[in-house]
Every structure is written in structure tokens, then in C-alpha cells.
């Protein structure tokens, strides 16, 4: 699949953030408010473009999920970029709604694709287990759990999930899509300022509902409902387990997207489009 920028166009990278509470996710939907819809409309309006623009994003977040370090790209007419690119950031700040912000606009290096050039995505999931509930000023970004959770036990469970596996047991299956992923980091720590239990989850890519299902399994360990080995046993089973809840989306934030050095972007772009299999599987 070719990803060449058409002659007369420039690929532009956007670094952005949004509060997902009032959005029906990233991807455009008819008659629903989405991040992609708001951004594409704003770009077309402020640049006075005759044709709609089409954004490609690093990670298509679900309804209610937030982002602090999301990355997208758009191909713009070269003459428009040359004349208006320097004003685009400020114009978007005046046009976009309060719950989505673009922090950086730049011409992308050759071979860059916001989705396929990425080598990892890092999410955080925040859980509050104070018996009194969650700080009202944080409530839109924190899941309240009504039993205390043991971060040490959850970290023991997390170690059993690291590496390349078929995460079918933790994903909503999509036709024709693989559920094989490489989980690079998974650990919990207490935020000393808030007391929240925060999970850091970093992988080369994620399938649908994967982070929220992993968190749901580890919370069962943390609050004493299941043994440390339970999340690993679910993974090995490769089928959804009735005890594992997909936790609510508002505790989840896309924190950062990682890319290789500029000279490796095109190769990563090509590699990421290949369907993966595990050793011994066709």
C-alpha cells in the first residue's frame, strides 16, 4: 500500500490533546460529535479550503477516552501551507472548542505516517480507591473503585503479561485484524500528590478495549478477588473471561506516541502494515 504524498501537497504533523468526555471517540461519525470531525472542520475553515481534509491519527481512541499526547497528520496544498502554515496554530486556537487543543503544527519528515510510523503508544489509567471517593476536580479522569487496591500485587500480575502475545482474551475482535501485540511496559505506581493508583501501559499498538480490559483484570488482583496469576491465565486462554470487566473509559488517557529516527520512518511505515503471526502459527 502506497503512502506517497501527492505532488503539490505537504504532509503536516499535528500534536494535540483533548478531553474525551463529550466526544463519541476520535473517528468521524454521522450525526455524532467526534475529535476528528471537529479538527477537520476547523482546519478546512481557517485555511479556507474548498475541499474537506482527511486526518490520519496515531491511535483511534474510543468514546470518553482522553488524550494528552495524540499525533495526527494531514496533507495540505503546498501553496496553502507556505502562505498560511505559520498562522495555523493560532487560528485553530480561536476556532476549536475548549475540549480539543493543537499544541504543535510542523512539516512532517519524509516517510512519516502518524499511524503506521509509530513504534509505540503509551497510555495511563488512573484509579482512585479512597473510601471517600474521588477528588471532584479529577472525577472526569479517574475511575473510583470502592475497595482498596494493592499496587504491589498488581505489579506482580503485570509482569506475566509483558512481551509479544495474542491478546484475543483482552480485545474486542474485529474481522480481518490481528490481536497479536507486544506489551513493552505495564506497571502500577501511587501518585504521591493525589494517592491515585496509576497504570502505565506501553505497547507497539493496541487492539480495541485492550487497555481497559487489562486494567479490569488487574484490579481483580489488586482488591483481592483473584490470585496474582489470574490475568496471565486469562491471556493464555485467548478467549474473553466473564469475570473480566472492561473498565469505564474516562480513567484512560493516551499520554504519548513514540516514533523512530527520521531516516527509519518510511521503513517502519511499511513494516507496520504487515499482518503479524506468532511463531508456529500461520
Q: Is residue 278 included in any domain, yes or no?
A: no
Domain annotation covers residue 4:
no
pTM of this structure:
0.94
The residues assigned a catalytic role are: 62
Same-domain check for residues 103 and 144: no
Residue 143 belongs to a domain = yes
Residues 82 and 37 in one domain: yes
Within this chain, do residues 44 and 95 fall inside the same structural domain, yes or no? yes
Number of domains in the chain: 2
At which of 116, 133, 164 does a domain end?
116
Residue 88 shares a structural domain with residue 128: no
pLDDT per residue of the chain (282 residues) written in tens, 0 to 9 = 457 899 999 999 999 999 999 999 999 999 999 999 999 999 999 999 999 999 999 999 999 999 999 999 999 999 999 999 999 999 999 999 999 999 999 999 999 999 999 999 999 999 999 999 999 999 999 999 999 999 999 999 999 999 999 999 999 888 878 899 999 999 999 999 999 999 999 999 999 999 999 999 999 999 999 999 999 999 999 888 888 999 999 999 999 999 999 998 988 988 887 766 666 443
Whether residue 107 sits in one domain with residue 151: no
Domain-located, residue 129: yes
- Domain termination residue (choose one: 116, 143, 159): 116
Question: Do 93 and 151 sit in the same domain of this protein?
Answer: no
Domain that holds residue 46: 9-116
Is 2 part of any domain?
no
Residue that is last in its domain, among 96, 116, 136? 116
In a domain, 268, yes or no: no
Residues 253 and 137 both lie in one domain: yes
Note whether 21 and 102 are same-domain residues.
yes
Look at residue 211 and tell me if it is in a domain.
yes
- Whether residues 168 and 92 share a domain: the answer is no
Residues 104 and 135 in one domain: no
User: Is residue 142 located within the same domain as residue 98?
Assistant: no
Instruction: CATH number of the domain at 148, please.
Output: 3.30.70.660
Distance CA 58, CA 72 (A): 6
Kindly state whether residue 155 falls inside one of the protein's structural domains: yes
Whether 126 and 251 share a structural domain: yes
**Separation between Cα atoms, residue 228 and residue 275, nearest integer Å:** 32
Amino acid at each position: 500500500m502506497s503512502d506517497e504524498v501527492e505532488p503539490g501537497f505537504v504532509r503536516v504533523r499535528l500534536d494535540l490533546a483533548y478531553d474525551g468526555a463529550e466526544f463519541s471517540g476520535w473517528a468521524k461519525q454521522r450525526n455524532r460529535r467526534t475529535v476528528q470531525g471537529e479538527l477537520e472542520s476547523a482546519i478546512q475553515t481557517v485555511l479556507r479550503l474548498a475541499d474537506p481534509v482527511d486526518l490520519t491519527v496515531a491511535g483511534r481512541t474510543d468514546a470518553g477516552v482522553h488524550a494528552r499526547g495524540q499525533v495526527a497528520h494531514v496533507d495540505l496544498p503546498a501553496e496553502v501551507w507556505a502562505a498560511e502554515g505559520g498562522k495555523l496554530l493560532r487560528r485553530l486556537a480561536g476556532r476549536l472548542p475548549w475540549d480539543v487543543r493543537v499544541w504543535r503544527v510542523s512539516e512532517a519528515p519524509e516517510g512519516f505516517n502518524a499511524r503506521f510510523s509509530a513504534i509505540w503508544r503509551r497510555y495511563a489509567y488512573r484509579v482512585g480507591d479512597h473510601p471517600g471517593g474521588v477528588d471532584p476536580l479529577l472525577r472526569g479522569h479517574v475511575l473510583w473503585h470502592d475497595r482498596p487496591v494493592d499496587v504491589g500485587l498488581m505489579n506482580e500480575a503485570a509482569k506475566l503479561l509483558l512481551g509479544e502475545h495474542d491478546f484475543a482474551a483482552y480485545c474486542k475482535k474485529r474481522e480481518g485484524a490481528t490481536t497479536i501485540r507486544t506489551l513493552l511496559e505495564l506497571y502500577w505506581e501511587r501518585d504521591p500528590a493525589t494517592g491515585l493508583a496509576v497504570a502505565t501501559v506501553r505497547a507497539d499498538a493496541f487492539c480495541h478495549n485492550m487497555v481497559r480490559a487489562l486494567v479490569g483484570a488487574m484490579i481483580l488482583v489488586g482488591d483481592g478477588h483473584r490470585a496474582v496469576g489470574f490475568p496471565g491465565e486469562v491471556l493464555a486462554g485467548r478467549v474473553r473471561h466473564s469475570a473480566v470487566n472492561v473498565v469505564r473509559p474516562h480513567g484512560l488517557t493516551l499520554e504519548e506516541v513514540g516514533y523512530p529516527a527520521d531516516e527509519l520512518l518510511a521503513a517502519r511505515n511499511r513494516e507496520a502494515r504487515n499482518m503479524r503471526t506468532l511463531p508456529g502459527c500461520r
